[in-house]
Structures are given as structure tokens and as C-alpha cells.
Structure 1
Amino acid sequence: MNSIRQKFTVLNLVIIFLCTFIVGGAGLWFTSRSQKEYSDEILQLTCRQESSFLNDEFTDIQRSIGIFADQATDRMPPVDVIRSNAAVRRQYVSEMEKLMGDIVRHSKGVVCYYLRITPELADEVTGDGGFFYTKKKRVETFIKQPLTKILDFDPNDVEHVGWFYAPKAAGKPIWMEPYYNKNIDMDMISYVTPLYKDGRFIGVVGMDMDFGLIVNDVSVISPYKTGYTSLVSREGKFYYHPVYDPGSTVLDYSKELQELVNDLKYYGGGGRPKTYSYMNKGKEKKLVFSRLQNDMVLLLSVEANEIEAAQNSMFRITAITAIVMALLAAIINLIVSTRITRPLKALSQAAEQIAEGNLDVELPRPTHDEVGVLTRSFDVTVQNLKKYISGMRYKAYSDPLTHVKNKNAYELEKERLERQMQMGDAKFALLMLDTNDLKEINDTYGHDHGDEYLLACCQLICRVFDHSPVFRIGGDEFLVLLENEDYEHREELVELFNRLAAKTLQEPRAWNRVSVAKGLAVCEPSDTSPEDVLRRADHAMYQDKKAMKENG
């Protein structure tokens, strides 16, 4: 190594190797950090998406009970009349019994429903203080059962009278913990609402769901090959786990999840969601959770190797590319090395932007050498990440059957509307639509034609309200957000929809005949949130549905 050329060659090679490994290492580090954040975000988004399907079932029960409770309170005679006049009391209970029977027919998974007037106002001996219906497994017909004599049991006897005293003590609607009902041989979960008249406690109304159906829904959630889901309480007690028995705890599964147990107790739904790492049977796993409407918690666990597979693959590709660049640098001269370091620097900056979450990074023009290979690899990686995140967001915010927006998308719109309402410049209306006859079409012609019926209804809705976003917020419920020009012409659009829907009634196929109950509500200055508007629209829709039934 006597010649200056050799010395400069060695010096140049050292510089090239150092630059290659420094820039390549920075790219690996930034890309690794970015991929980890995206993998955690995708895992959390998947858990929230799956929990939203379960919340739809719970929300349907809550809405049904809410509607009935409002009607029960509005139609209730004065308290003194209820207490003193048995004939009036029986007439009132009979009317409520028919109303709740109609509501239950449109609620999924209900196995018991009941109305119970407090013993202070009704005679427990004659049993005219309410009604109680149940149905057993694989039986579709509800059977009326004798009323429980509340005063025969201690108020602390949760198994027999907890459904009465718990909501009374809470003073608000509550979900009760799952329990086993010996009478109908079924695990159940109850939602109970206390009734008040003129500020006085009158009784309770509730529905019980088949907890086995919820477990079945959870057990089939499998977004990953090595993943599974489970249900726990806020104290970390398992209600369902594919391996562990109900009653065991998260700490029985892994002692490393003490932080999760602490977060389950105090997590109120705010703040940044966490991803928990732990070891189980010699394998590293990741876990996220999402709170459900009934205060249970959905856990989603997956092996770290599976969710980090893309990150590991990117590591190998980038590392191999860096090594190839370093080996080829031995035969290039100083001028070529200078040209190589320039795009490498640009790639490092691009990797840093990717790590910061900017996927619209501008990469240098690919050259016909190893740096060009690396540039194209980065470009392919960025495009794949864009497609992956875009696909997950599409799945999270659109309905897979009708391809309109789903309930998650409406939650985002609701945040925007709330901000407008807080600023006092909100001007919108909500149109709630509920398809009729879906169950009859499903039962008579099959679920494929039921899906065609939903599509026919959705297409007509989108056709009439083509300038407004349409959301599918339930199995047979749609919501239209009317703003701007559609808001100004809302009544004309509803009339147009009615005329077009009426024309479809001449269709020979039942699944092409559009029959939809509607409820329109306009945002008023007294409203504090979009939920106030939605509640009125839902009530108006229910009244429309009732009128349609009465008119045949």
C-alpha cells in the first residue's frame, strides 16, 4: 500500500463502508420504529373494529329498553291510581305487555323480558304487578312465567332479586354480570332500567340476552393465525377464554400482565391505547383491549412474530441491500461513491419522515445501480404500507355488504357535528331509516335474498340522497346526514323517496319491494349533542313504523 492511489482507495472504501452502515442503520432504525407503531395501530384498530360489532348488539338492547321505558313512563297512570285501582293497574300492565312483545320481536338474542312494578304499588299475591316471559334453548316462542315474589327474598340475594334491587340502588340503567339461570338452563346477561313517575320509583323493566350467543360471536373472531379473543371484567376476571375456565384471572394467564389489570380498573376510555407485551409458554405475545358497552372488556392477543413479520422481512431486505451496496463499493471510484452517498442521504431523510408517519415522502429518482434498488425497495415498502393502512381504514369505516359508511364513520362525523354545535353554527338534520320485513324475507326466501333486499333499500336511499353521506348503523338501520342543499330540501327529498319506494311495491319479487320506516329530526338550538337529534329521529322512525303496521 505504497501508492497514493491505493491509500485513497482504502480511505475511500473505509468512508464508503462507514457511510453505508451508518445510513443503512439509520434507515433500519427509523423504519423499524415506524413499522412497530403501525403494527400496534393496526392491532388496536382491529380490536376496536371487532368490539364495535358486539357493541351493536348491546346498543340494540339498550335502545329497545330505552324506547319501552319512555313509553311505559308516558302511558303510566298516576302513582296513587296504580296503587289503589287494580283494574287500571292490570289494564296498564296488559298494554305494556303487548308493546314490549312487539319490541322484542325486533331485538336479537333476547331470551327473557319483564316489567315489574314495585311491591309497594302492586299486590304480590294476585301477581298483577307486571309480566315475565322466557324462552328456552332452540325454542323461538316466549312463555309467560309466574312473577317472583320479591318480598320473599333478601335484597342481597343477587341470584333471585338482584335484577330488581341493583338498578333501584343505582338509579340508572345498568348491565349486570353474566350469570347462570337454572330455570331455563342458560348463561345470561341482563340490562335493566328503573322506572320513575313524578320523581318516584315505580319499578324496573329489563331484557336478558343469551350470553352463549355473545361467546359464540367472540370465539369466531380470528383476525390472525396465532390470535384469539376473550372477555374479561374490569377486575381482570375471565368471562370467556378459549383455554382458561370462567372465573380465572388474567394474572393466572401471565404475571407480566399486572399493568393490564391496573389499566382495566382505571381506564375510562380516554388517552392513547396501549399495547401490552408478555411471555406465555415461551412465546412473546402482544395484547390490546377495548371496552364494550356493557362494561365488559374484549381482549385481543397475538404472537409478536406474526404481527411483526412485515417488520422482520423489511429488516432482512434492507440489511441485504446495505450489504450488497457495501460489497459493490469496493470497485467504484471516488466520483461514483460521491454520487452514491448523495441519494443515500436522501433515503435516510425519507426513512426519518416515514418513521414520523409521513407516507407521502418524496424519494429520489431511482438510478440503475444498487442505490436504485434500495430506492425502489423503499418505494415498494411505502406503497405497501399505504395500501395496508388504507385497506384497514376502509374496513374500519365502511359496511362490507352495502359499501356505504358504517357506524365507526358516523362516530367521526358526530365529533365534527359536536364541535359545530359547541360553536353555535350547526345546521343539519338526521334521517333514521329502518327496513321493514327483513326478518320475513330472511325466513321465507333465505338470507341471500335478505341481503339483496338490504341492498335494494340502500341503493334507493343513496339514489335519493346522493349528495349526503349514508351510514349503516345497524343490521337493518340506515342514517342519512343532511346538510347544505339537501338540508334545505329535506322534506322534498323524503317525499321523493316515498314516491320511488311506493313504485317498487309493484315488483314481483319481495326482495325488490322497498318498505322503510323513517324518522326525520332537525338540530335545534336546545340540543347539546348529535345524540339528542338522533334520539328524536329514532323516536319518529319508531312512530312511523308503528303507523305503517297499523295501516297494513
Structure 2
Amino acid sequence: MKSIQEKITLLTTIAILMVALIVGGTAIFTLRRAGEYNSAQILHLTCEKEADTINRVLLNTEEAVNILADYAVERLFSVEKLAGDQAYRDSYTVQLSNLFSNIAENVPGTVSYYVRYNPDIMPPTSGLFYRRDSLDDEFEMTEPTDIKAYDKDDMGRVNWWYIPVENGAPTWLEPYHNENIDKDLISYVVPLYENGVLVGIAGMDIDYYTLVDTVKAIKCYDTGYACLANDKGDVYYNPNFDPGTVVEEMNLRGIMSFEAESSGDDPVDYYLGDMRKQLSYSSLVNGMRLIITAPRSEILAMSNNLTRRVIISTIIVLFTFLFLTIMVSRRITGPLKTLAQVAREINDGKLEVTFPKETSDEVGDLVHAMEKMVHHLKHHIDDLNSLAYHDSLTGVKNKTAYDDAASKLDSQGGEKEYGIVVFDANNLKKINDTYGHERGNIYLQNACRLTCRIFKGSPVFRIGGDEFVVILQGDDYDNCYKLLRDFDVEAERHNLETVNEWEKINIAKGMVKYDPETDANVESVFKRADARMYVAKQKMKLAEMG
């Protein structure tokens, strides 16, 4: 007959084995799933980060041309006078040239800019054209191309005129070789209209290989790389394929689609030849797709290493506990079973647990220690939840909270009514540099305080150093235009009552409402609001310079 000690040892050993298998197996499964997710997030976030870097350059180009286009239309007396009066046309062109030269100098990657007039009502070489051979050179005035001298199908000569004019809207041109200046370019062109009559175009060219160099510099994992393609996956730049190569010619296996704005959180799984790979892509402002890809074995290398470590650690812990069980089995009593149950509940995330009555031995010490541990866990979890979703400086919600709110809006079914207001505190760097960061913090807090007071029915988020977002909802959504006016009135009143620059409120803002016809998600609404904010910011800067 087995002794009670042997029975306890046997039962305890079996229990420890079961717990080790369940907890260890669960830990391995969870860790592998989490590792796969985190590795995929590295690929996705790298792609999003690099796309944002490139988009900033493209958006700067858009903003520059849009500002010039708005100025050109506002300054135009009439199309008839521009077409019929050479002296007026020359004066008007000089005004545009002065503004455009100041703007172009501050737009990275620009190799040429131009304003061309409609050749159907004005001379075919009229307008202005500045170019430079390299980014280190100064812009030089060049004789504009004679638009009428070339057929509209001569894409290497006059595509920059006919494509945006036919579109009748601001247009990003695909990468092309401009035979007039013998350069590979990407161009942003805005047609100019006055009362429905085509006046001309304003455009800016970026050296295509400057963009390619940026893409070449992107690294991910050991052998991962980045490339550029269109929405069908056809190559603009790929270190392994020539430009113009289509997807069908690449020996790819897997579902490959680049029509969406991005691949989302989940990477695209595919085979290139016999190698299994994953990719993440994101749309650029000009419609191109930035793609980052790497072998799946490299993406999951960290996850696999951690899994092996967990297995080894689990085995070591298992044998350690088996040895200790034999050594201390005589001292195992009823309270320990209760503690085991409490430990399982804590492991499952349940912190509202009932501990056994404390005793004056080691088990009692353990009960007391576990009670303190649960108390501290509750305290730390509450603190972490608060820190994770709130901005410590302003007290409003942070970028993580904004991402959660955006995700919930995107997953919401049925009709949606919401808007987004993007705020940007002007001159924060100047205030920080001039008065110190403490005054800069006061500057941000004043801006945030007014924002919260005006939009008190909507959540306010600080998503960047000087950038805030309000998701309009309820009465704030219905009264958004009144609230924006109230904001301006209150800001002006506040500024009249203050003397110091760092106490004032100087904010550029842009607001749009969600439109199911054009907005696929919250990010699309945000981008439109952000674009309006940047336009407002540029106008404020121009007003300050004027």
C-alpha cells in the first residue's frame, strides 16, 4: 500500500505536469501567434512610416503648386486682358514667377517648375519655365516648350499639358522621361480656370531618381527591400525586375492585389519562385504603391527563437518543480490547493479573487505576498491603462486612443455621421527655441484647453507634438461650422487679453465631414482634413509674411 506521502507526491507531480503542459503549451501558442502578429506589424509599420516620409515630400509639392494656382486665379484681372494685352501678361507672369521661385526653393527634390498659358488663345511659348540640372544648382529661366509644335500623343514632350487639361483637375503624372530636359520625372500639375475658361496650367517636377534613391535606402530585416509599383503591381522600381515588368512576368504565386489603399495589418503572403515571402504596401499621394517585402523566414525568426526559449525554459521549470515537489511534499496542505486555484484565476486575468485565511507559517507568508501582488497588479494595471490612452501634458486622449476610436468607426455598420477637425499649433518650434519648452508647453495647453471647451461634446486627441484631432459627433457634428466660428472668436478674444506670444492661441485647422461616396475609412477623412489644415496653415504663413 502506498503511503499518504507517496499519494500526495504522485498527485502533486501529475498536477504539476498538467499545469506545465497547459500553461507551457498555451504560452507557446500565444507567443507564436503574438510573434507572428508583431513581426507582421514591423513590416506594416515600416511601410507606413516610410510612406509617410515620401508623402511629406509629395504633399509639399502639392501644397506649393496649389498655393501658386490659387494665387494665379485670384490675381488674374480677366482672361481677355491676359490674352490680348502683352504688357499685362508680362507683368502678371513676373508676379507669378516671384511667388513660385520663393515656394520652389523650399520644396525638396524639385528640378523644374512652370506656368504655361493656353496656346489656343495666347502664344504657344508664353508663360514661365525654370529648371536646374541637379538639386545643388540654382534654378535658371528656360525658354518654354512650344506646345503647338508637338502632337498631343507625343508623351515625352507635352504630356504635362494634355493629360491634366483633359482631366480638368489637379493631376499627378506617372513617372516618365521628359525629352525636353532629358530627365526622368514625376510631375504634379494643376489646370487654371477662370469662369470656366482654361487659362493655362501650373506644375512642378520632381526628379524621379531622388524618389528611387529614397526607396533604395529602405531596409527591413536582413534581405528585405522596398519597391514602387502601380495599383496593378506593375513595376516602376524593383531591384530584381526591370521597370515596366508586369505581375504576370514575375514568377509569383499567391493572391496579389494592390487596388486597396494599403495591405492593412495583415501582410500579403506569396511565393517568389520557391521562396515564401510576405509584403506590406501603402498608397502614396500620387497613386503609386510603396511595397516592402522580406522572406517569411526572416520575418518570423524572432518569434521562432522566442518559442524555442520558452520550450527550454518550460522544461527547466518543470523539472525544477518536480524536484521541489518531492522535497517539500510533506508540507503541502489544504491551503496550497486554494492558492493554486487563486493562481490559476490570476493567470487567467481575474484579479478579484478570495485568498485562504492566513496562517503563521510559510503558506501564510505566501498568502500575504500574493495579496500584496494582486493589490499592486491592480494599481499598476489602472495606471498603465490611464497612461496608454491619455497625453500626460494636456490631459486629452493620445494617438493610441485615436487609433482605437478610428478602428471602431471603421468597423461600425450602417450609416455614419462624423467629421474630423485637424488642428496644428503654429510656431511651436519658434516658441520653444525662443522662450523655452516650459512656455511651449503652456502654449500647447492653452490651445488644447480652448479646443476642449469649444468641442466639449466630441473627443479631443493629441496625435503629435503640435497636432490635435477632434472627431465630431452628435450636436458638435450638427453645429460644426458654428463651433469653428466660435473657436476663432474665442481665440481672438483670448489673444487680445494676453501679451506674451507663448500665451496666445495661433492654430491652423481643417475640417471635413465623412462622405461615404469618397471616404473608404477614417484615414481617408483625416487626410482630407489634414490637407485643408495645411492649406490654411500656408495661407496664415502668407498672411504673416504679407
Q: Same fold (TM over 0.5)?
A: yes
CA shift digits 1:256-279 (9 cap, x unpaired)? 3x32x32x0x3145x853213345
Q: Aligned-pair distance for 1:217?
A: 2.3
CA gap 1:87/1:275 in 2 versus in 1, 3 angstroms = same
1:287 partnered with 2:288 = no
Q: Aligned-pair distance for 1:113?
A: 0.7
Q: Check conservation: 2:110, 2:135, Cα contact below 8 A.
A: no
Match of 2:150 in 1: 153
Match of 2:163 in 1: 166
CA gap 1:310/1:28 in 2 versus in 1, 3 angstroms = closer
Q: 2:291 aligns with which of 299, 317, 330?
A: 299
CA shift digits 1:282-307 (9 cap, x unpaired)? 76543222221111222223422445
Q: Check conservation: 2:219, 2:225, Cα contact below 8 A.
A: yes
Number of positions where the alignment pairs a residue of Structure 1 with one of Structure 2: 482
Match of 2:93 in 1: 93
CA-atom RMSD, angstroms? 5.3
CA gap 1:487/1:165 in 2 versus in 1, 3 angstroms = closer
CA gap 1:236/1:533 in 2 versus in 1, 3 angstroms = closer
Q: 2:267 aligns with which of 269, 275, 291?
A: 275
Residues 7-406 of structure 1: pairs in structure 2 closer than 5 A: 13-14=13-14, 16-124=16-124, 127-128=125-126, 130-182=127-179, 184-222=181-219, 224-248=221-245, 255-256=252-253, 258-259=254-255, 261-262=256-257, 264=258, 266-269=259-262, 272-278=264-270, 284-302=276-294, 303-308=298-303, 309-322=305-318, 324-325=320-321, 333=329, 336=332
Cα distance in 2 between the residues matched to 1:532 and 1:285 = 34
CA gap 1:549/1:33 in 2 versus in 1, 3 angstroms = closer
Q: Check conservation: 1:114, 1:207, Cα contact below 8 A.
A: yes
Match of 2:426 in 1: 433
CA gap 1:279/1:78 in 2 versus in 1, 3 angstroms = same
Q: Check conservation: 2:443, 2:502, Cα contact below 8 A.
A: no
Q: Check conservation: 1:519, 1:539, Cα contact below 8 A.
A: no
CA gap 1:522/1:69 in 2 versus in 1, 3 angstroms = closer
Query: Aligned with 1:21: secondary structure?
Result: helix
Q: Aligned-pair distance for 1:205?
A: 1.4
Long gaps (5+) in structure 2: 356-361, 411-415, 452-460, 471-482, 517-524
Match of 2:441 in 1: 462
Query: Aligned with 2:106: secondary structure?
Result: coil
Match of 2:358 in 1: none
1:491 partnered with 2:520 = no
Query: Aligned with 1:465: secondary structure?
Result: helix
CA gap 1:229/1:167 in 2 versus in 1, 3 angstroms = same
Cα distance in 2 between the residues matched to 1:362 and 1:185 = 73
Q: Check conservation: 1:290, 1:297, Cα contact below 8 A.
A: yes
Q: Check conservation: 2:39, 2:299, Cα contact below 8 A.
A: no
Q: Aligned-pair distance for 1:185?
A: 4.9
Match of 1:509 in 2: none
Amino acid at match of 2:38: Y
Amino acid at match of 1:80: E
Cα distance in 2 between the residues matched to 1:141 and 1:278 = 46
Amino acid at match of 1:304: I
The normalised TM-score by structure 1 is: 0.68
CA gap 1:25/1:539 in 2 versus in 1, 3 angstroms = closer
Q: Aligned-pair distance for 1:190?
A: 0.9
Amino acid at match of 2:104: V
Q: Aligned-pair distance for 1:540?
A: 5.7
Amino acid at match of 2:299: A
Long gaps (5+) in structure 1: 354-359, 399-404, 436-450, 503-515
Match of 1:401 in 2: none
